[in-house]
Amino acid sequence: MTWVRLDDGFADHPKLEQISDYAFRLHVSAMCWSSRRGTDGRISKRDLYTLASRLVSFEGNPLDLATELTDFELWHTTEYGYWFPLRTRHNPAEKTHHETREHRKHRRIVLSRDGYKCRYCTRREFLTLDHIVPPSKGGSHDPTNLVTACRSCNSRKGSRTPQSASMPLLPIEVSS
């Protein structure tokens, strides 16, 4: 599934506040259309006319809206039509979105597996995830290489393995 993410401050962007309502609606429609079709912000002139025809009660020339969007540097003219950046602060790359989702999933798995306790000292406050083998030493971000650690133990261990930091991992307590 494709997506376009707009935060609640999107419409307050200084450039967006200056354009007409129709240009704003075309811009948002084009972002959704481009994301859905995977065009990375590329819109042909033919596509521009299709998108503009969907704007309720718009009877003007779609090229005028495109000119307005290029004048405010939201869109750029290209040899095939127009281009606008889909990946902005308001719409981060899909990869970033999936990495964040994957990180949350790993965090839930690891915290639950470790009983919501630091695997170095058994504290239950200020819990973080720690790499057993740090990424700088070739460790993965997989849950098998992650353990729950309190902030102070994670900081003390640093970018070392538990053995080299003289911080052995405590066994996971299995409740019956």
Residue 1 confidence (pLDDT)? 47
Type of residue numbered 120:
Y
Q: Is the pLDDT of residue 22 over 90?
A: yes
Q: Which residue has the tokens 């494709």?
A: 2
Mean pLDDT of the chain: 87
Domain-embedded: residue 171:
no
Residues 18, 68 within the same domain: yes
Q: Is the pLDDT of residue 39 over 90?
A: no
Q: Is the pLDDT of residue 97 over 60?
A: no
pTM (two decimals)? 0.51
Residues 79, 14 within the same domain: yes
Q: Is the pLDDT of residue 50 over 80?
A: yes
Domain-embedded: residue 88:
no
Segments forming the whole domain that contains residue 62: 10-83
> Distance between CA atoms of 81 and 148, rounded to whole angstroms?
51
Residues 68, 19 within the same domain: yes
What is the count of structural domains for the chain? 2
Residue 37 confidence (pLDDT)? 85
Tens digits of per-residue pLDDT, 114-128? 999 999 999 999 999
Q: Classify strands 81-83 and 146-150 as parallel, antiparallel or unpaired.
A: unpaired
Q: Tell me the CATH number at 130.
A: 1.10.30.50
Residues 78, 117 within the same domain: no
Domain-embedded: residue 2:
no
Residues 100, 136 within the same domain: yes
Residue 90 near residue 5 (C-beta atoms within 8 A):
yes
**All residues at 6 or more sequence positions from 149 whose CB lies less than 8 Å from its CB, including other chains:** 118, 119, 120, 127, 128, 129, 130, 157
Residues 58, 98 within the same domain: no
Residue 30 confidence (pLDDT)? 93
Domain-embedded: residue 105:
yes
Q: Which run of H or of E encompasses 78?
A: strand 76-78
Residues 114, 56 within the same domain: no
123 burial class (0-12, 13-18, 19+ CB within 10 angstroms)? Answer: middle
Name the β-bridge partners of 81.
44, 78
Is pLDDT larger for residue 7 or for residue 172? 172
